[in-house]
Structure 1
């Protein structure tokens, strides 16, 4: 009878009126900043049976409300109606549709007999040159790959280009060959997969593959620092895997303690493992690294040429390898003798490095190349030629201007990060499959390289 009386207190059971009443109750139960940020701009969309659909302004609001407030909201609405009610969230303006089946790329790929698609098979222990500045990280990585390491997690730290990703992939490659179930993914892929699962209302489908893995490899933990809901998910996955003895390896550009945006409990978990810094190579180590990589070249380079490359002020192994490739390609093209003068001529264009093209320069070049106006490029049109040009722009902004996904989306008409990520992936795939896409990218890169500095 009490339940019936409470139902009678709400004669208007429209979703809009119900949600307005619930908001009044919630405003008394949450902090004002949380109410203003996450609840103020929401609205009741539909009430069907025992489920209330609430419209939210963005994917991030949906993710946050689902992970932080769903139980409180459901309890509040149930009390208003006098019977149990579940609450689901939907981005305002999105079409409600049956949840599509997940593709292999939406969720973590679990590998047993063959390497996961995110593993680079060229990054093996055999192709990694061991020097003093990376020897400790190399030994720890080998122990984890063989299952002998007692530390968990293994955290590989260091600035870009020092070999963290190489060692991470080498661990995965050896572990898969030993028959272990491995998940390898980047921080960006973790966030993207989780957001997609939340949007479908299927967050558990994102977590399920982790329950089966024996080794989790996460490249670039720093990508999670500004995404609290994704950090929360990673923390719970971390705990579950750690408790049953699954090894975890993560890479990060700085020590976990320096990532102040990481939650304290996640920092504590990471600091409970083995944290190893990979340091920039010394000049002597640069020569050893070059000798190791040059031994695999089709055309060996003389020792004086390697010494010349090693003496240049490169900051990391990636720049060093790029210089070696540049010299090798140059000498192949000129078909001349392998002299120091020829090597100096090849290296001259590497020092000083030209500044990267600005976002404005990239957008202008794309518009000129495809004969579009800036308004067409950033507008709402989904015409095939305009969409293709827009994806090209997304790819170039990501690769050459180092723009984050959200910033690229804002430059191109306020599109969300998942749209930008899909556009970049499409172009990346077409570069190997479609000659016209490869030619378009090459022409635009030449245009940007020859453009006068702003």
Structure 2
């Protein structure tokens, strides 16, 4: 039993590293936090991960990457599990001799063949629905198209949805799947890392009967959804891509609804897929969940506050501005901020000084903007990229140094009330260099991994030590 357990731990460690690496899509983040990740114990209720990090960084990892870790657990085990992060190996395989065989019976094996009865009706989170999905200008077009699809009033298929991480894509896909099932239809959600692994196994086995059954299922299901389609273009997956092409081509010919979601526009896929797939993805309806503006964030904040407790919606405009100013990078962060307020809601509702209570509830998490200086920002960027400060403000044109320099410029521009000329003086550059740096990373094909790093650095800069 020990060998089986150790083999499972080795397999799950590899799967989690691959899944998280693909999900965060940033080599620097992965190397700094998850390079040494190991699964050290698991059962039907809980999984324990080892990370070679200090206590302080381990806490930040738990906070910042909770969604990524939880998502990976659900995708690999087929259901949510409680997880624990440790930086000492008390739970190493050598200490697992007493683990009962029954402990692993509740965990689904990673490899499974979809069946209409099981997977079509169990792949979606029942907590995600359109009733709990906020509609505003930034996502209105996408929601309307999906509702027409659900009501069989939208014949323009496939649908391609572009949405950055944290803007509600996962919620939307689950809501669509739940509505299809409610209407007595079948729907299936394809996760790229799990799908690629399973298809590779079938192709290696060269079991044509299994492959044929699988292809037929994906072709005939009423709704098929591919999440993070861009992931299939990474690495050498020619056979998998050919399998996907057969599915897409068949479903288009039969006019069966197929939905694709990606963090970038179709143009960004041209370097990953051949023209046959690009042409077919472009033949349907293309829509985007755009970054919310300030009005959208107010609407989102009011929704989440009312959902938490109707009385919280009455907090002052100053308190709402404080939350949006510090948590407006995406929808997920706003939701997390409201949950924190919910913890202190009795103090907030009962107090005559609710603004003070709201700000104090975040005092251990958020720095006051007045304490943020260009030097602090450059120092944080320097530590993240492991590049000396003098190089960042210097004249080197090495690619990695230029990226760090541009990162510091953009963060200073976003958070400090400095003119382009003032920022230029910090880096001994003219204002046109600052403008070019900002424009460069506004281009969709350039911004994915950069924005992941930007999001993390913003968290670091505004969190207290």
Instruction: With the length of structure 1 as denominator, give the TM-score of the two structures.
Output: 0.51
In terms of fraction of residues, the more helix-rich structure is 2
Offset of 1:313 from its aligned partner? 5.3
State the partner residue of 2:167. Answer: 162
State yes or no: 1:119 paired with 2:124. Answer: yes
Offset of 1:332 from its aligned partner? 6.0
State yes or no: 1:199 paired with 2:214. Answer: no
Matching residue within 239, 245, 248 for 1:235: 245
Matching residue within 137, 143, 150 for 2:142: 137
SS of corresponding position for 2:225: strand
State the partner residue of 1:297. Answer: 308
CA contact (8 A) 1:130 1:138 kept: yes
Larger Rg, first or second structure (1 or 2):
1
State yes or no: 1:264 paired with 2:275. Answer: yes
User: Which fold has the larger relative contact order, with Cα–Cα distance below 8 Å and residues 6 or more apart in sequence?
Assistant: 2
CA contact (8 A) 1:108 1:184 kept: no
State yes or no: 1:343 paired with 2:336. Answer: no
SS of corresponding position for 2:292: coil
Offset of 1:175 from its aligned partner? 0.6
Offset of 1:182 from its aligned partner? 1.2
Offset of 1:317 from its aligned partner? 0.8
State yes or no: 1:186 paired with 2:191. Answer: yes
SS of corresponding position for 2:332: helix
Offset of 1:149 from its aligned partner? 0.9
Q: Which moved more, 1:319-328 or 1:197-206?
A: 197-206
State the partner residue of 1:315. Answer: 329
State the partner residue of 1:435. Answer: none
Q: 1:217 to 1:333 in 2, by over 3 A?
A: farther
Offset of 1:162 from its aligned partner? 1.0
Residue by residue over 1:361-405, the C-alpha shift from the partner in whole angstroms, topping out at 9 and shown as x without a partner, is xxxxxxxxxxxxxxxxxxxxxxxxxxxxxxxxxxxxxxxxxx9xx
Q: 1:114 to 1:199 in 2, by over 3 A?
A: closer
In structure 2, what is the Cα distance between the partners aligned to 1:263 and 1:332?
57
Q: Which runs of 4+ in 1 moved over 4 A?
A: 110-115, 330-336, 352-355
Residue by residue over 1:1-37, the C-alpha shift from the partner in whole angstroms, topping out at 9 and shown as x without a partner, is xxxxxxxxxxxxxxxxxxxxxxxxxxxxxxxxxxxxx
Tell me the matched-pair count: 261
Q: 1:13-412 alignment to 2 at 5 Å?
A: 106-107=111-112, 109-111=114-116, 116-202=121-207, 203-226=211-234, 227-259=237-269, 260-298=271-309, 300-301=311-312, 302-304=314-316, 305-312=319-326, 314-331=328-345, 337=351, 339-351=354-366
Q: Structure 1 unaligned runs (5+)?
A: 1-102, 359-402, 404-451
Offset of 1:190 from its aligned partner? 1.6
Offset of 1:104 from its aligned partner? 7.7
Offset of 1:141 from its aligned partner? 0.9
Q: 1:126 to 1:299 in 2, by over 3 A?
A: closer
Residue by residue over 1:340-366, the C-alpha shift from the partner in whole angstroms, topping out at 9 and shown as x without a partner, is 1222123344446999x99xxxxxxxx
Q: 1:107 to 1:270 in 2, by over 3 A?
A: farther
SS of corresponding position for 2:241: helix
Offset of 1:299 from its aligned partner? 6.3
In structure 2, what is the Cα distance between the partners aligned to 1:249 and 1:277?
13
